[in-house]
Amino acid sequence: MTQMQRSDARSNRDRVLTAARETFAAAGLEAPVREVARRAELGVATVYRHFPTRTDLVTAVLAERVEACRRQMRRALDDTDPWRALSGMIEEFADRQIHDRALNEALLAPGGAAGAFAEQRREHVEAMNTLVARARAAGRLREGVGPEDVRAGLLAIAALRNLPSSTNAQVIGRLAELLRAGLRA
């Protein structure tokens, strides 16, 4: 019986995380916990039994997303073509804005859940600086372009994530394309 309960508890926790991922990706981090519970087909009390606070739930979901971003950045750093690495990273960032409002909403905002990922954010900034330096050394960036220019472009893309979904992908994709064109030598 104990094993069955543990199995049910694990299953419920997984259902909560899956529902939270979907809910936060679609509606942002302000989506109500009751919506997560509804999508998980569980009671709100079950959600809080696994994640005592909203911050605990958000942090658990974001930890998975931050790890995925770390893997993407690692692939970019391993890429031997500096422009393809930087350009691909910009494209992936734009794609996250279209499909996952929650991640950058949390990581770009001061305080809250972002504090739990300060080290990963610092590593991401360092990796971005490396990608920009490599592209510059390879002669692939316009004269005078630096990491702060790339960050400004990424922040502009992130600012568009709350557009209506009917125009979101098109506008963000176009801005990412313009950013890459503006950076390239």
How far apart are alpha carbons 175 and 95 in whole angstroms? 12
Q: Is the Cβ–Cβ distance between 158 and 166 less than 8 Å?
A: no
Residue linked to tokens 């691909």 = 88
Q: Are residues 151 and 99 in the same domain?
A: yes
Q: What is the CATH number of the domain that holds 89?
A: 1.10.357.10
3-state secondary structure 21-69: HHHHHHHCCCCCHHHHHHHHCCCHHHHHHHCCCHHHHHHHHHHHHHHHH
What pTM value is reported for the model?
0.79
User: What's the pLDDT score for residue 158?
Assistant: 86
Within a domain: residue 96? yes
For residue 114, pLDDT beyond 70: no
In this predicted model, what pLDDT tens digit does every residue of 116-155 receive, in sequence order? 778 888 898 999 999 999 999 999 999 999 999 999 999 8
Same domain, 83 and 26: no
Residue 48 belongs to domain with CATH number: 1.10.10
Q: Which structural domain, as residue segments, surrounds residue 155?
A: 64-183
Instruction: Give the mean pLDDT of 158-178.
Output: 84
Q: What mean pLDDT value characterizes the chain? A: 88
Say yes or no to pLDDT of 5 above 80.
no
102 and 69, same structural domain?
yes
23 shares its domain with 90: no
Q: What is the mean predicted confidence (pLDDT) over 79-104?
A: 88
Task: Let me know: does 65 contact 100? Beta carbons within 8 Å.
Answer: yes
The pLDDT, as a whole number, for residue 112 is: 60
- Do 45 and 84 lie in one domain? The reply is no
pLDDT category at 20 given cuts 50, 70, 90 is very high
Query: What is the length of the chain?
Result: 185
Check whether 109 has a pLDDT greater than 70. no
Among the ranges given (10-19, 37-46, 54-63, 125-134), the one the predictor scored with the smallest mean pLDDT: 54-63
pLDDT (0 to 100) of residue 1: 47
Section 52-67 average pLDDT: 88
Q: Is 179 exposed, middle or buried (0-12, 13-18, 19+ CB in 10 A)?
A: buried
Distance CA 39, CA 15 (A): 9
Count of structural domains within the chain: 2
